[in-house]
Amino acid sequence: MDVAFVLYPRMTALDLVGPYEVLGHQPEVTAHFVAASLEPVITDAGLTIVPTTTFAELDRADVIVVPGGGGWAEVLAEGVVAAWLRTAHPTATWTTSVCSGSTLLAQAGILDGRPATTHWALRDELAARGAVVSTERVVVDGSVVTGAGVSAGIDMALTLVGRIWGDERARFTQLFIEYDPEPPYRAGSPESAPAELVAFARGVFAGR
């Protein structure tokens, strides 16, 4: 099973690495790290990731994973990822996104009229691009699976493992990576964080 992990400048590393840790351990999976060129990609926090193939070389995959990140607006403006998605999505069994990666799916027309989720700060951006925005952590609609912000990529990928290989495989994978989160604070979403913290965070995002 070929899984294409999309790379682009200023993407968020965990959006990619979380799903990769889940999917990359499946014995049936061959991972491809696909980008516009083979030049190293620098994430929004400075991690360097080296692509293994390019959009021109890889035009199809069984599963597509599109991360989000600080560079999402620039990637939307360039249109290169969306153009590749328009080619690769129709033959994919599953097309997925994490965080603001959903805006790239939307730009490609994949989320028109579909329920989808994204990072809480980008819900309006996603709605403006034709999706029916959900506040759920993971949304499955047909062959399209979207995850909310950053850490939700692990949940998205475990959901996908369950759909492809069954619940027992997904449970084993969860145990294998010891994914048993007990966050030290209850502040992971606008619905759970203190109102003043949410207001401050919205101001930070607006300033970007």
99 among known catalytic residues = yes
Q: Which of 168, 166, 164, 153 lies closest to 63 in space, CA to CA?
A: 164
Instruction: Give the whole-angstrom CA distance, residue 197 versus residue 208.
Output: 17
Distance CA 33, CA 16 (A): 10
Residue 50 tokens read as: 């080296």
Residue 169 Cα distances to 17, 28, 162, 164, angstroms:
19, 12, 7, 9
Integer Cα distance of 31 and 100 in angstroms: 22
Determine which one of 14, 36, 63, 99 is catalytic.
Answer: 99
CA distance 32 to 44: 21
SS3 68: coil
Residues forming the active site: 99
